[in-house]
Amino acid sequence: MKRLRSQIIEKFHASDDVSGSPIIPQRIIADLKRAEKGNAIVISDVGAHKLWIARMYQPEIPNHTIISNGFASMGIAIPGAIAAKLAKPDKPVIAVTGDGGFLMNGVELATAKRLGLAFVIVIFHDSKYGLIEWKQLNKFDRTNAIEFTDPDFLGFAKSFGVKGVKVTHSDELLHSIEEAISSQEIVLIDVDVDYSENVKLSKTLGDYICKL
Ligand SMILES: Cc1ncc(C[n+]2csc(CCOP(=O)(O)OP(=O)(O)O)c2C)c(N)n1
């Protein structure tokens, strides 16, 4: 098992330094980890980003990677970050969310501001329901009704008195997250994600299945 475990972990880290614009999910997760160093409470929303976190994000401390599973309700990330910060004020808190999930409860920035909280929000921005696209491509090899038009997230954040940062290239990501964690205010980081990795992962995992 030890050998298998180290092989799996090695695979997880194979794309840690892949650079580009937009940014692949594995790189976003690697930089998130590098920035928070296993100390933060990370709350995941629901979507393709959640599958990447569930697959690859290794918590260093129990209850520090919180994932909405079971009912898997989108929109948990911002309220979840508010709750985590209220429960553990001394911990850095990071909400990771898709753009679709953020749009469901993003107005809770008003609550977070009113309570004087500080946390980081990382939006995986693809202007689509990424997970639904992934499932449709796997099953039908085409997509239907998964695209939507996002608002200007930085303008949205600003309207609540929240700082926003746009990240389009992997070179900008680590520094942006580190700075956001140390800023002691709410910072929204709007990251352009390259979800072409999703179907590639399905293919890779599918190839492991013994076809006997
Ligand atoms: C409240 C709610 N509505 C619908 C769903 C079904 N659903 C699961 S993931 C998903 C798409 C998520 O899209 P987004 O938030 O943009 O994240 P991404 O998949 O792009 O990372 C949908 C519609 C759900 N889980 N919860």
Q: How many folded domains does the chain comprise?
A: 1
What is the DSSP pairing of strand 93-98 with strand 41-44?
Answer: parallel
So what's the pLDDT on residue 207?
A: 84
**Residue 72 in contact with ligand 1 by CB distance below 6 A:** yes
- The CATH code of the domain that includes 91 is 3.40.50.970
Predicted TM-score (pTM) of this structure: 0.96
Q: Is residue 202 a part of any domain in this protein?
A: no
User: 97 alpha carbon to ligand 1 midpoint, in Å?
Assistant: 10
Q: How far is the CA of 101 from the centre of ligand 1 (A)?
A: 6
Question: Is residue 48 a part of any domain in this protein?
Answer: yes
What's the confidence (pLDDT) of residue 59?
87
Strands of the 187-192 sheet, one edge to the other:
65-67, 41-44, 93-98, 120-125, 187-192, 163-167
| 193 within some domain | yes
Distance 98 CA to ligand 1 centre (A): 8
Instruction: State the pairing for strand pair 65-67/163-167.
Output: unpaired
Q: What is the pLDDT of residues 26-35, one digit of tens each?
A: 999 999 999 9
Residue 206 lies in a domain: no
Asked whether the predicted pLDDT for residue 209 surpasses 90, the reply is no
Is the Cβ–Cβ distance between 154 and 188 less than 8 Å? yes
43: its two tokens = 């709350």
Q: Are 89 and 77 in contact (CB under 8 A)?
A: no
- Residue 57 counted as domain residue: yes
- Kindly state if the Cβ of 98 falls inside 6 Å of ligand 1: yes
Please name the residue ranges forming H helices in the chain.
2-12, 25-36, 48-56, 77-87, 99-105, 109-114, 130-140, 153-159, 173-182, 196-207
pLDDT digits (tens, 9 = 90+) for 160-199: 999 999 999 999 999 999 999 999 999 999 999 999 999 9
Whether residue 6 is contained in a domain is answered as: no
CA atoms 112, 177, 14, 41: torsion sign: negative
What is the domain range of residue 26?
A: 19-197
